[in-house]
Chain A
Amino acid sequence: MFALVHLVPGDPVRLALGTRFSQESYDALRERSGLDQPLVEQFFGWTGRALTGDLGVSFRSGETVTSLIAERLPATLTLAFASILVALLIAVPLGTVSALRPRSLVDRVATVISQFGISVPDFWMGIVLILVFAGTLGWLPSGGYVPLTEDPGGWLQRLLMPALVTGVVSGSVITRFVRSSVLEALGADHVRTAQAKGLGTRQVFTWHVLRNALLPLVTVTGVQLAYLLSGVVVVEIVFSWPGLGQLALQAVQARDYPVLQGAILLFALVFLVINLVVDLLYSAIDPRIRR
């Protein structure tokens, strides 16, 4: 990862100094950022410092990488969790209904909706929403972010559209999974046992179908959440949402190695943590996995 970042052509020092600069200031900045040292030394230096929580200083702004990330984190967390909520609110009912009536009209409509959600580019959906709700109707601001603590109303207004866009995309993916896992659970032998016991339809469905369909749902939701937490660049840009995706993109453009490395490290950590949580949830849901 480190090597890949440095392989990107372009010189961060040149980019930081602009078009007119002297050789002395170039050398000075190069020395200050440690870019004059061999790559291997740079790597071990960075790794060592990262272990102590020091991710370095941005070439561009001079702020520490940790503070830059901490600044962006609340916005990203907000958007990611709001999106996954929207996604589940779409996916669970839609997937369930189409599994209950396979090949029916409802199922076909749900399939079309989720195919639409998967295939339509998110930036296009975002622009359309902005045009309709911010432009024509003027109900919502077209973008930006305010912290919940400062202005709860404004926070919600600004969150609504980006969360809807990413939620629809993730929700469409999850819908397909819900449909197939509910369908599979419905066909299981133990569902017939439950019916033969004389349980009511709702009880059979909740405890013997949905309960068993939960496992694949947790997996795919975890994957989607990890993806959302590592920043949804396009949507963040469309809605000028100051999240980690934007930060990473700007870092790439400026060849701001410390920021980019910091962001990548964080994304890797997010994946690890989410996988761990998913595994822990597994054993809570499925007794066969315990011990």
Chain B
Amino acid sequence: MTAPVLEVEDLRVRLRTPRGPADVVNGLSYTVGAGETVAVVGESGSGKSVSVLALLGLLPARVATVTGRALLQGEDLLTMPPERLRQVRGPGAGMVFQDPMTSLNPVLTIGRQLVEGIRAHGDVSKQAARSRAADLLREVGLPDPERALDRYPHELSGGMRQRVVIAIALSNSPSLLIADEATTALDVTVQAQIIDLVEKLQAEHGTGVIWITHDLGVVAGIADRVLVMYGGRCVEDGTVDDVLEHPAHPYTRGLLGSLPDLAAPAGPDGEVPELTAIPGLPPPPTDLPPGCVFWPRCPVRADPRCETEQPPLAVVGSSGGALPHRAATWCAEEEVPRG
């Protein structure tokens, strides 16, 4: 593997809330290599989005305290001066947000929103920026890009808007692309198109991608590596095959068990196996359990330390690749029946 594009080390985010400080991200470490896709999965409220917004300084400074290190091509995003951070947003890292209905400004044309991003990072004439914008729209597969420049977001469908958001994110050829639930708000066929598009662009430009999602189907299709988040911590990471085929953490098993398995053999009466849900809710970030974060909902609880001691992220085995398969659980060795 070449030098990583992004190296995150012990990232912590604490938010000030009316109910006291909330530890939303607690010691997250991972790397993203050039051309590599890392999927971050977890339930709503597991700290996925906050962890990437924190990287680019997009959390309101009044309420968020971010610590740790996040080296983007060797430069620490978390300590860089605001002006340098502004320069990095765009050419260093582009971001695609969850809801294309709201992530574009409704009162400005598509063209304007692309052009201002291009011109923010270089002395480009309006005409040059406009033709670059049209090229970008063509690249993301928008029909009739010249005309689309003069359109407003509400004149486009959700899928088209998300293509525009991707075009904006790619407009300064970033070395890292962060997609924060980029396909969640889209219907399934459009979702597949967007994923194909990102994979194609990634292959062409060698961009590192962080793909945040709660959709394990998407993960299997797109990611090289998976990082499972729960309660603001990484509870399991490894290659897609390791994590999805041999999940070690009870939480990951629970997540996989809550997916319908279309390949599963039907019962004698043609009935399909029932889906299992993980009972309960994730712990509130203002009040995390002292031991394993998953302990309150865990069906296993095989070790007395589960309740009292935080399990470290430890290697649980590897399918032979360069990447270790790690999980933060005391129960890794126990054979847990898969939901």
Which of A's residues lie within 8 Å of B, judged by CB?
188-190, 192-200, 203, 207-208, 211-212, 285-288
CA distance A106 to B88 in the complex (A): 32
CB distance A193 to B116 under 8 Å?
Answer: no
Residue in B closest to A290 when the chains form the complex, CB atoms: B152
Contact flag A190-B105 (CB < 8 Å), given A196-B56, A198-B88, A287-B152: yes
Contacts of A197 in B (CB 8 A): 89-90, 116-117, 120, 168, 171
Given contacts A193-B104, A200-B86, contact A207 B154 (CB under 8 A): no
The docked-state distance in angstroms from the alpha carbon of A207 to that of B109 is: 12
Give chain B nearest CB distance to A272 CB in angstroms: 27
Q: B105 to A212, Cβ gap below 8 A? A: yes
**Residues of B bordering A, CB below 8 Å:** 53, 56, 58, 86-91, 94-95, 97, 99, 102-109, 113, 116-117, 120-121, 152, 154, 165, 168-169, 171-172
Say yes or no: B108 contacts A288, CB within 8 Å. no
How far, in angstroms, from A200 to B84 measured CA to CA in the complex?
Answer: 11
- Candidate in A198, A203, A208 with the most chain B CB atoms within 10 angstroms: A198
Q: Which residues of A contact B88 (CB under 8 A)?
A: 198
Q: Which of the residues B102, B113, B152, B168 comes within 8 Å of A288, measured between beta carbons?
A: B152
Distance in Å: Cβ of B6 to nearest Cβ of chain A: 15
Would A287 and B117 count as touching, CB distance under 8 A?
Answer: no
Expressed in whole angstroms, the Cα–Cα distance for A286 and B152 within the complex equals 10
Residue in B closest to A195 when the chains form the complex, CB atoms: B58
A contact residues around B90 at 8 Å (CB):
196-198
A127 to chain B, nearest CB (A): 43
Q: Kindly state the separation between the CA atoms of A203 and B169 in the bound complex, as whole angstroms.
A: 18
With contacts A200-B120, A203-B116 taken as known, whether A212 is within 8 angstroms of B107 at the C-beta atoms is yes
In the complex, what residue of chain B is closest to A209 when comparing beta carbons?
B105
Expressed in whole angstroms, the Cα–Cα distance for A110 and B171 within the complex equals 41
Q: Given contacts A189-B103, A193-B97, could you give 10 more A-B pairs where the C-beta distance is less than 8 Å?
A: A196-B94, A197-B90, A197-B117, A198-B86, A198-B87, A199-B86, A207-B105, A212-B106, A287-B107, A287-B154
CA distance A285 to B95 in the complex (A): 28
Question: Which residues from chain A contact B152 at a C-beta distance below 8 Å?
Answer: 287-288
- Given that A193-B103, A196-B58, A197-B89 are contacting pairs, would A203 and B120 also be in contact in the complex, using a CB cutoff of 8 Å? yes
* Contact yes or no, A190 B106, CB < 8 A: yes
CA–CA, A286 and B106, complex, Å: 8
Query: Is A208 in contact with B120, judged by CB distance below 8 angstroms?
Result: no
Task: Determine if B107 and A193 form an interchain contact, defined as CB atoms under 8 angstroms apart.
Answer: no
> Please, which residue of chain B has its CB at the minimum distance from the CB of A208?
B105
Q: How far is the CA of A190 from the CA of B100 in the complex (A)?
A: 9
Residues of B within 8 A of A199 (CB): 86, 116-117, 120
Contact residues in A for B56 (Cβ distance below 8 Å): 196
Option from A188, A198, A200, A207 in Cβ contact (under 8 Å) with B108:
A207
CB pair A193–B165 under 8 Å, yes or no, is yes
A208 to B56, CA, bound (A): 19
Give chain A residues whose Cβ lies under 8 Å from the Cβ of B121: 198
Q: Which of chain A's residues have a CB closer than 8 A to the CB of B91?
A: 198
Residues on A with beta carbons closer than 8 Å to the beta carbon of B58: 192, 195-196
Q: List B contacts of A288 (CB < 8 A).
A: 106-107, 152, 154
B118 to chain A, nearest CB (A): 9
In the complex, A196→B179 CA distance in Å? 12
Which of A192, A208, A212 counts the most chain B CB atoms within 10 A?
A: A192
Closest chain-B Cβ to A208's Cβ sits at a distance in Å of: 5
Bound CA span A198–B113, Å: 12
Q: Given the complex, which residues of B lie within 8 Å of A207, measured CB to CB?
A: 105, 108, 116
Instruction: Say whether B168 contacts A193, CB under 8 Å.
Output: yes
Within the complex, what minimum Cβ distance (angstroms) separates A202 from chain B?
11
Please tell me if the beta carbons of B107 and A198 are within 8 angstroms of each other in the complex.
no
Bound complex: CA of A207 vs CA of B172, how far in Å? Answer: 20
- Let me know if A287 and B106 touch, CB within 8 A: yes
Q: How far is the CA of A61 from the CA of B165 in the complex (A)?
A: 69
When chains A and B are docked, how far (Å) is the Cα of A166 from the Cα of B87? 46
**Known contacts A189-B97, A200-B120, A207-B116; is A195 also within 8 Å of B89 by CB?**
yes
- List 28 A-B residue pairs with CB atoms under 8 Å apart, sorted by A's residue number: A189-B97, A189-B103, A190-B104, A193-B105, A193-B165, A193-B168, A195-B89, A196-B90, A196-B94, A196-B97, A196-B169, A197-B90, A197-B116, A197-B171, A198-B86, A198-B88, A198-B91, A198-B117, A198-B121, A199-B120, A203-B120, A207-B105, A207-B116, A208-B108, A212-B105, A287-B107, A288-B107, A288-B154
CA of A199 to CA of B58 in the docked complex: distance in angstroms? Answer: 12
Residue of B nearest to A285 (CB): B107
List the B residue with the shortest CB-CB distance to A191: B105
